[in-house]
Amino acid sequence: MVAQHLGRAPVTLQNGTLLPGGRAVASFQLQDQNDQPFGNAQLRSAPSLLFFGFTHCPDVCPGTLALLAAVQRDPALAALRVIFVTVDPGRDDTATLRNYVRAFSPSMVGLRGDDAQLESLMSSLGALRAITPTADGLYSVDHSRARCRPEGSLMPPFILLQHLLPQHALSRVVLWATRLRWSPFKNLLIGSFVSGFKPDLSDADQYDPLQYASFNAFFTRALKPGARPVAEGSQQLACPVDGTVSQAGPIQGEQLFQAKGHHYSLDALLAGAAQHWAAGFKDGLFATIYLAPYNYHRIHMPADGVLREAWHVPGALFSVNATTAANVPGLFARNERLVLLFEGAAGPFAVVLVGALFVGSMTTVWHGDVTPRSGRNATRLLPIDSAAPLSLPRGAELGRFNMGSTVVLLFGKDQAALRAGFDPGTVVRMGEAIGQVSAP
């Protein structure tokens, strides 16, 4: 229909859902990013692509808008208008919305309005949103379309959208965008992120976010010396990252707990390394820690160890937040990941870096940037930096996430114990004691 409106030749559907006819858009009246009225008359003035989202969205929204902005730059599609409609008007005021859409394209339109107007527009287009209170007194937002699972329950819209998105293509776009050094673009991107997520920069080595050369340099920023003291005592197990505990506890045979109703196996998680390493973690201990976008994103050694093997495992790039973990079976064994295997004083342990939607790459001190790759088979990685020692002490930096993700720690049977209170939902900081390793 868009092609017909633009006077172009008919196109063949390659991927997506073909609707047999148009839908009538309900009467609505919203305000644009300049606080000007925008309703049905303005919508009819040009062919438009509408996307419902919110500026605090950490992954799907910015990635999709970056892709739509790139499509819009095609000279043949100059008449096409991209419209971003916020489903979170309580937090997305006019100024926030204006700065957000400008970060993607000067011609992008941003719309906001009261709940009644939003619901009228969204329901006429078959779009949904869900506002869910959280334990910290705030709320989370899910949005987009929904569908029924075979058993009849609703798949959350955020999960459905991830199944439909070209995950790796979007991650490549993010990889490119977050490394751009053009000041107007990177400053808008950083400014929007700081406004939306309000990261604590008081302990950053460079306090001024706009002084970083690129968004990725800001996102993977270093901390001031001493900002994260490492727990004292040779048997202390140090937290490898800033984040929130997703799950932790004993490995039941070869099964790790992901979320209610979902488990995954050591063999599936370790992939190519499983043959020689999975048995060593059977009936052992695991900890899964989620890094939110506002967290510090460098990863450190939880204990003294010598790197014995490293594997890149290709896979999907679903988000790794709590909503996705509760709805995507085997999430951490399905996503792309790096499996780092160490020998420590008490025995073997593993640090698994799990990729996620819009994680353009992961980095280790031994292998440099490891970007999403094609192919179905796990690949053993060889160090490319001969100057990086294979043996690292507890607290030393081992890598970083270029955009947010999750770390899974594995320890063998009777080789480690987690401290009391290290429970799901606990906020942790790199270097703090999260348990103890057994004496050799």
Nearest Cα residue to 6 out of 83, 56, 74: 74
Burial of 10 (0-12, 13-18, 19+ CB in 10 A): exposed
Concerning whether 262 is annotated as a catalytic residue, the answer is no
Q: pLDDT band at 30, cuts 50/70/90?
A: very high
Contacts of 29 (CB under 8 A, 6+ apart): 37, 38, 39, 113, 117
Active-site annotation holds for 405: yes
Q: Do 50 and 62 meet the contact criterion of CB atoms below 8 Å apart?
A: no
Residue 320 zone, left/alpha/beta (φ > 0; ψ -120 to 50; rest): alpha
Dist CA 121 CA 135 (whole Å)? 30
- Active site includes 124? no
How high is the pLDDT of residue 26? 83
CATH number of the domain at 2-11+22-165, out of 3.90.1150.10, 3.40.50.10600, 3.10.450.50, 3.40.30.10? 3.40.30.10
Give the model confidence (pLDDT) of 366-392 as tens digits: 988 887 555 667 888 887 766 678 999
pLDDT of 417 > 90? The answer is yes
Q: Is the pTM of this model over 0.85?
A: no
Q: Hey, where are the domains in the chain?
A: 2-11+22-165, 231-437
Cβ atoms of 219 and 178 within 8 Å: the answer is yes
The mean per-residue pLDDT over the stretch 70-98 comes to 85
- Whether 160 shows a pLDDT value over 60: the answer reads no
Cα(140)–Cα(131) distance, integer angstroms: 6
Query: b/e string for 308-327 if b means 16 or more Cβ within 10 A?
Result: ebbbbbbbbbbbbbbbbbeb
Q: Which of 300, 319, 361, 367 is catalytic?
A: 300
Catalytic residue among 192, 246, 319, 405: 405
Catalytic one of 32, 59, 242, 304: 242
Contacting residues for 307 by C-beta, under 8 A, at least 6 apart:
340, 341, 342, 366, 383, 390, 391, 392
Highest average pLDDT, of 150-154, 195-199, 328-332, comes from: 195-199
Residues 247-264: pLDDT tens digits? 999 999 999 988 767 888
Unique residue bearing structure tokens 């976010």: 209
> Quick one: pLDDT at residue 146?
41
At 376, list the tokens.
């179905």
Mean of all residue pLDDT scores within the chain: 81
The pLDDT, as a whole number, for residue 420 is: 92
What's the confidence (pLDDT) of residue 14? Answer: 46
